[in-house]
Structure 1
Amino acid sequence: MNDAYELDDDPSRIQPDAVWTWLSTEVYWGRWRTRADVEAQLANAWRVVGVYRAGTGEQVGFARAVSDGIGFAYLADVYVDHAHRGHGLGKRMMQLMIDDGPGADMRWTLFTSDAHGLYRQFGFTEPDRTAMVRAARQG
């Protein structure tokens, strides 16, 4: 385990400015959201996990989930700052969010176009014949 970083699922530690910067400039999936949208998503998240530099507390990673709290969870906005990649932080976030959290036995879903290898390590696979998705309406 890398002692240069600490992970925490305490929502009060999330740094909204950092999350907003990543989601509005760094990721392909979040740029359509407004700052108010992101703040509402943070406030209404079932769980959040942050990655912080030990010593400084600077947030360098983030993931959130929404859930009914019983049988279903949706994983969203998983991000590790470019300068801090390569330290296993994505895996550690998924471990804390999914396997070590209250949703370990739930059905989880997510959408991704580029991180299949990471998520397969935590049991994610392509949907079976029981899954359907309604795409977002395009303005």
Structure 2
Amino acid sequence: MGTDDYELDDNPARISRDAVWAWLSREAYWGRWRTRDDVDTQIENAWRVVGAYRAGTDELVGFARAASDGVGFAYLADVYVVDGHRGHGLGKRLVHTMIEDGPGSDFRWSLFTADAHGLYEQFGFAAPDATAMVRPPKKPPIG
């Protein structure tokens, strides 16, 4: 499969919440403490979502979600590509579509990742400077 075998769409109504929940609850190393209702609420309240689909179908094979103030700041979360569809540039396309092709292209973006630094560095993400602070969650991550 090549890049033409996939299409990206930011229509929230097209996102299969079942598919997102199935992947996040079984495959993600992050946020495993969330319930199905939590994930549904995050999708419902997202500023923007982007889905990657097998071309000509509604089969969701990749996903990204963002929270934002809609003016100058956005947080990128839950970016994934389903195993078997990796290696076709979908991760790059998801991130590019979310941060470069959307209404937040001039925003300050943030994210957390334990293993995809190389991907995000291609889009200008870098370790925070002395002006950044983070309050860790009170709930310890599971998984």
Question: TM-score of the superposition, structure 2-length normalised?
Answer: 0.95
1-side partners of 2:115 and 2:135: how far apart? 20
Structure 2: gaps spanning 5 or more residues = none
Question: What is the match of residue 26 of structure 2?
Answer: 25
The equivalent of 1:107 in structure 2 is 108
Q: For 2:130 and 2:123, how far apart are their aligned partners in 1?
A: 21
**Structural RMSD (CA):** 1.0
* Cα distance, 1:80 vs structure 2: 0.2
Write the distance in 2 (CA, Å) between the matches of 1:105 and 1:56: 32
Give 3-state SS (helix, strand or coil) of 1:105's partner. Answer: coil
| Alpha-carbon separation, structure 2, partners of 1:138 and 1:119 | 26
Q: C-alpha deviations, 1:12-34, integer Å up to 9, x for none?
A: 11000000011101001021100
5 Å-filtered alignment, 1:36-115, equals 36-115=37-116
Identity of aligned residues (%): 71
Larger RCO (CA within 8 A; separation ≥ 6):
2
Question: Could you tell me how far apart the structure 2 residues matched to 1:45 and 1:133 are?
Answer: 21
Count the aligned residue pairs. Answer: 139
3-state DSSP class of the match of 1:114? coil
